[in-house]
Amino acid sequence: MTLQLGALRRRLADRPVEQELVHGLERLGRATVEEMRGLVGILRERGAEPAPSREPSLARVDDLVADVRAAGLPVSLEISGDPVVLPTVLDISAYHVLQEALTNVLRHAGMPSTRVAIAFDSDALTVHVVNEGGSPPLHPDTGDARRAGHGLVGMRERVAVFNGTLEVGPRTEGGFSVRATFPRPRRWHDEAVLGR
């Protein structure tokens, strides 16, 4: 997939907007491959049998939050608006942004009180993670948060694919905030998905 996207990107040299979009997809594909390699490596190191896989989806946000709580992070969850069935790719991307944001809290901030807010609005889906503790170290030149692997770069690319926005950074009152906003597609199903 990434090889084909790379070839397509080179053919779009005279169309910079489309070229940048394809480049983002290409980077996202490569980042996903690296994530898979990392997961396989962890399983090999632990010598464990792979657990039954759960398809990434905001419909399973309660399971994700429960897993993070089991790791020791005190986290609350609030869902506002009318939850709906999202397009699959958007649903998976939003889930991974949330997962990565919570992983960053575990890795960089200790175990601070953390809030997850998911808002289904008429024009957008917003995923917001706020912790009350520390924050990832900031890059001295760019001011972006640093972490091993693709981290925030992957989050930015997942959001950019949908012409969304990602706001990350330390809060003036302490802690760190990650807010991803995905514009609402022209059509998504008006059926409840999270049972709330």
79 in helix, strand or coil? strand
Domain count, the chain: 2
Query: pLDDT band for position 140 (50/70/90)?
Result: very low
Q: What pLDDT score does 40 carry?
A: 61
Q: What pLDDT score does 52 carry?
A: 52
Neighbours of 65 (CB within 10 A): 18
SS3 content of the chain, % helix, strand, coil (to 5): 45, 20, 35
Mean pLDDT within 154-165: 88
Residue 196 pLDDT more than 50?
no
Rounded CA separation 30/20 (Å)? 15
Q: What pLDDT score does 36 carry?
A: 66
Instruction: Report if residue 196 sits inside a domain.
Output: no
Provide Rg for the chain, Cα atoms: 17
User: What φ, ψ does residue 168 adopt, rounded to 5°?
Assistant: -130, 145
Residues 130, 36 share a domain = no
Rounded CA separation 179/157 (Å)? 14
Residues 81, 176 share a domain = yes
Query: pLDDT band for position 98 (50/70/90)?
Result: very high
Q: Whole domain around residue 154: which residue ranges?
A: 58-183
CA distances to 69, 115, 140 from 133, in Å: 16, 11, 21
* pLDDT single digits (tens) 109-134: 677 889 999 999 988 999 999 988 75
Q: What pLDDT score does 109 carry?
A: 65
Rounded CA separation 33/17 (Å)? 25
Residue 136 pLDDT more than 70?
no
Residues 63, 41 share a domain = no
Query: pLDDT band for position 78 (50/70/90)?
Result: very high
Instruction: Report if residue 41 sits inside a domain.
Output: yes
Give the β-pairing of 124-131 and 165-170: unpaired
Rounded CA separation 188/88 (Å)? 10
Give the β-pairing of 75-81 and 124-131: unpaired
Instruction: Report if residue 52 sits inside a domain.
Output: no
Rounded CA separation 73/177 (Å)? 16
Least confident stretch, 19-33, 51-65, 153-167: 19-33
Q: Which two tokens stand for residue 51?
A: 């657990």
Mean pLDDT within 44-61: 67
Residue 144 pLDDT more than 70?
no
Residues 81, 144 share a domain = yes
Query: pLDDT band for position 35 (50/70/90)?
Result: low
Residues 37, 65 share a domain = no
Residue 195 pLDDT more than 50?
no
Mean pLDDT within 167-192: 78
